[in-house]
């Protein structure tokens, strides 16, 4: 179970469906927040620079501060769309770099980067009714998710992150837990979106996920970190 820290304009926030106008601050000190999750027992963190993902700025220095402030592994995403950005994130201390937009649009780039950074990249396969989403979930790509996954299964990736954007941040519970793409995924499978309580974690385990990223449920108090880790280590 991986707590999420999403950065927007220097704060940690939660969003609904990735829409920046829905941002609700959860901490004005993301470094302290990350340390708090570590102190409470989190074994890994999920850190995303929303400004970079949306193309509205960046929180690069803050990301570095968070990485320096904790000792648990951190998977970092948001706007990582060229080799220099990947190299910087990994050199700064990220255990894994999450790639979505460029990876979906340019499979040859994903292949080259996966070979260059074996087991360090996590492919983000973010979806809702529009299809596979890119540019901070603002647009749908002309891409076939089955083909993307087929290519991903051949690459030395650190995992595939399946986000159900339609329920992300809504505390409505998970949907589509019996996802054919997830069952066909040959890399570590990470779920995100919609988790409300322990029943959702149990459903995701049954569906074959290896890990789950949780944000709003932890911040809203509908899910306790230690209980969640007991249900989904």
Q: What CATH number did the domain enclosing 121 receive?
A: 3.20.20.70
Q: Which residues span the domain enclosing 151?
A: 2-231
Structurally, the chain folds into a number of domains equal to: 1
pLDDT (tens, 9 = 90+) of the chain, 233 residues, equals: 999 999 999 999 999 988 899 999 999 999 999 999 999 999 999 999 999 999 999 999 999 999 999 999 999 999 999 999 999 999 999 999 999 999 999 999 999 999 999 999 999 999 988 999 999 998 999 899 999 999 999 999 999 999 999 899 888 899 766 678 899 999 999 999 999 999 999 999 999 999 999 999 999 999 999 999 988 87
CA angle 192, 189, 209 (to 5 degrees): 75
Catalogue the active-site residues: 6, 126
Entry pTM: 0.96
How big, in percent rounded to 5, are the helix, strand and coil portions of the chain? 35, 25, 35
Element (H, E) at 85: helix 83-92
Mapped onto helix, strand or coil, the DSSP state of residue 159 is strand
């Amino acid at each position: 179970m991986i707590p999420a820290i999403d950065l927007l304009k220097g704060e940690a926030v939660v969003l609904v469906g990735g829409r920046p106008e829905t941002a609700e601050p959860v901490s004005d000190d993301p470094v302290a927040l990350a340390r708090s999750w570590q102190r409470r027992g989190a074994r890994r963190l999920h850190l995303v620079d929303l400004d970079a993902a949306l193309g509205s700025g960046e929180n690069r220095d803050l990301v570095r501060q968070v990485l320096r402030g904790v000792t648990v592994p951190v998977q970092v995403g948001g706007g990582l769309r060229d080799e220099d950005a990947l190299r910087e994130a990994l050199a700064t201390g990220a255990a894994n770099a999450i790639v979505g937009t460029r990876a979906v649009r340019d499979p040859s780039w994903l292949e080259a980067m996966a070979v260059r950074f074996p087991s360090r990249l996590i492919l983000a396969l973010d979806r809702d009714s529009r299809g596979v989403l890119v540019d901070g979930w603002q647009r749908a790509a002309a891409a076939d998710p089955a083909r993307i996954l087929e290519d991903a299964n051949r690459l030395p990736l650190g995992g595939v992150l399946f986000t159900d954007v339609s329920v992300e941040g809504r505390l409505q519970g998970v949907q589509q837990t019996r996802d054919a793409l997830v069952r066909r995924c040959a890399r570590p499978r990470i779920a995100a979106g919609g988790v409300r309580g322990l029943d959702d974690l149990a459903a995701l385990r049954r569906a074959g996920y290896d890990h789950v990223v949780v944000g709003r449920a932890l911040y809203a108090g509908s899910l306790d970190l230690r209980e969640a880790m007991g249900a989904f280590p």
